[in-house]
Homo-oligomer: A and B are copies of this chain.
């Protein structure tokens, strides 16, 4: 329902016990599917030979029993789910990326976005390199390969390549004999380590460890390179501390699953805390607090507890709306709005309702939901957003609408309240957002306040090609 998208989830496994690594990836991707529903892929490494299956679709659309069985039994695997744009590119840009270079094959799964991908691409192109995808990820293997020619190991090449890479990258790299997890020095995106028997797992979120019954070990530190091979697990900390920690706060507010724990803080708790802050910042007299399912529920519960207003189940969300759902034609849209989300009249009729959602992006969805509550008999509707107002683009792996579609860039808060048809409106403050997790955490809140931890790319930093494409597609 949101217009803000995480771009990826990554998963990797190195097995010393002959576990079925492809199946572990399959189950791991299921648990990370919320981070990307457009494409899914798994690459299995069997003694240096990499077998990769990927495509546009959910994990259950790309993989079935036969496909998994056909991937064989390897010692390692890396997997990826991706949110991406429309059309042909969905498949073209699916990951893991598998490339061949002078020292062998390499597979890569990347969550994040580079800010200097355009410049790097131009550099490589000036040396005659060619690119197969339109994704910024493709420059990463180039950067690594360039260093690999003069490095004694793949991890050394990665470490040296990191000097060139700017922006957000939680990365799992699979070489013929090693599985390597890398998190950029700012730690924009999460990445954690787990154990299952004698195997090592890397995953974007801990819920993927839970899914396969693995034990959470720790998060990969910002800037850290964790290498697993036949000799065990070791760490290269050269880049640790090289930058201010700046984890994306929207991971806690919306992207991550509430049952995940990131850098030591529970996502569910962070959301409930957001609801509590909201209750403190924007108090209101009301009869019931309801959340928009699913990602508004935790904050609604936090609001209810903090305010003492009863928590209610305000909506039933259809479990059956699939990608193939036929959207009603424009004329019928008003009539048919309750197919996906129907209010529980018994909860809201005759009541003053606090409505908590994870964010307000364009405002159209929120306005519709406010309308639903009024039709169902709510006497007042007080809208609360557990995210601050979106005002700036993200260059670190989140897909945010362009400014002209962000309601907060176009209108004042009072104008927005009127447009939503709400009796009152309140956003979480940016200061409170910075307190959602333990205070040892540094957060990136640039999309709210414009404080970018790294210089965003200038338009002239984009390669000519990228600009031409953008124009052509506009």
Q: Which residue numbers of A lie inside 8 Å of B, CB to CB? A: 23, 26-27, 30-31, 33-34, 46-49, 51-53, 58-61, 63-65, 68, 70, 87-88, 92, 97-102, 104-106, 122, 125-132, 134, 141-142, 145-146, 148-149, 196, 207, 210-213, 257-259, 261, 266, 268-269, 294, 297-298, 301, 305, 310-313, 315-316, 318-322, 324-326, 328, 332, 334-339, 342-347, 465, 468-469, 472-473
Contacts and interface: CB of A to CB of B under 8 A. Distances in A.
A338 B211 contact: yes
B210 A472 contact: no
Contacts of A343: 259
A338 B210 contact: yes
**Main SS of chain A's interface residues?**
mixed
Contacts of A149: 126, 128
B102 A335 contact: no
A134 B149 CA distance: 21
Nearest to A141: B130
Given A297-B313, A345-B261, A320 B30 contact: yes
A465 B100 contact: yes
Contacts of A212: 335-336, 339
Nearest to A311: B311
Contacts of A312: 301
B339 A49 contact: no
Nearest to A301: B313
Contacts of A101: 125, 128-131
B261 A335 contact: no
B100 A320 contact: no
A334 B211 CA distance: 10
Contact of A258 (B213, B344, B469): B344
Contacts of A266: 344-346
B126 A102 contact: yes
B49 A320 contact: no
B132 A259 contact: no
A145 B132 contact: no
Most B Cβ at <10 Å: residue of A259, A301, A328 = A259
A437 to B, nearest CB: 12
Contacts of A336: 27, 211-213
